[in-house]
């Protein structure tokens, strides 16, 4: 049993003052349940739900950086690494494959780390850490993109580096 469960268990089943039955103490949690956010309270204590079950849901306007477009772009980037890797194995080092690897791999890693930050450091719970880590990731991605550019133009290139490392 975790300590959180041990500490909250007596509060959940404490007896009420006016009766001798054991009842759960959930009065403070009723307002925070997810189903009660859509209700409206009138002055006399009654509630109502706006709209009816037969009305259509109004959808938000489409945005190109959210939803399925963003998911499609991520998958396109991931899938594009497969033929790029095959082409570099078959053909060998080439400036075009070095260019594509130098762009696609940092963006692919950026999207992956951004998902980690979004999932494990949400802005609603950790606003400062989320902002710092997001901007740190952006700075790191730009630095890696510049480093890949410099390495591809002034050195042997990414494909040749992997080839030399593989045979070392």
What is the tens place of the pLDDT at every residue in 103-132? 999 999 999 999 999 999 999 999 999 999
Mean pLDDT over residues 36-51, rounded?
59
Is 120 annotated as contributing to ligand binding?
A: yes
What is the tens place of the pLDDT at every residue in 2-40? 555 455 545 545 444 544 455 555 554 444 445 545 555
Q: Map out the domains of the chain as residue ranges.
A: 68-167
Pick among 1.20.120.10, 2.60.120.1140, 2.60.40.10, 1.20.1300.10: CATH of 68-167? 1.20.1300.10
Is 41 annotated as contributing to ligand binding?
A: no
| CA 148 vs CA 79, 87, 155: distances in Å | 21, 19, 10
Encoding tokens for residue 168? 């070392």
Please give the model's pTM, rounded to 2 decimal places: 0.62
3-class DSSP assignment, residue 26? coil
C-alpha torsion 132→135→141→146, nearest 10: -120
C-alpha 109/C-alpha 94 separation (Å) is 22
For β-strands 47-49 and 39-41, DSSP reports them as: antiparallel
C-alpha 157/C-alpha 168 separation (Å) is 16
Non-local (6+) Cβ contacts of 114 within 8 A are 134, 137
């Amino acid at each position: 049993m975790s300590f959180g469960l041990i500490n909250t268990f007596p509060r959940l089943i404490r007896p009420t003052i006016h009766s001798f039955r054991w009842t759960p103490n959930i009065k403070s949690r009723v307002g925070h349940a997810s189903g009660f956010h859509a209700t409206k309270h009138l002055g006399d204590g009654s509630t109502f739900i706006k709209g009816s079950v037969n009305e259509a849901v109004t959808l938000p306007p489409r945005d190109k950086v959210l939803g399925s477009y963003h998911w499609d772009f991520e998958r396109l980037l991931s899938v594009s690494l497969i033929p790029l890797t095959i082409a570099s194995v078959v053909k060998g080092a080439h400036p075009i494959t070095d260019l594509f690897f130098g762009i696609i791999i940092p963006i692919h890693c950026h999207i992956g780390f951004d998902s980690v930050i979004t999932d494990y450091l949400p802005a609603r719970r950790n606003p400062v850490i989320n902002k710092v880590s997001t901007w740190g990731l952006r700075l790191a991605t730009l630095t890696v993109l510049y480093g890949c550019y410099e390495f591809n133009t002034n050195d042997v290139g990414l494909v040749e580096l992997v080839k030399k490392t593989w045979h070392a």
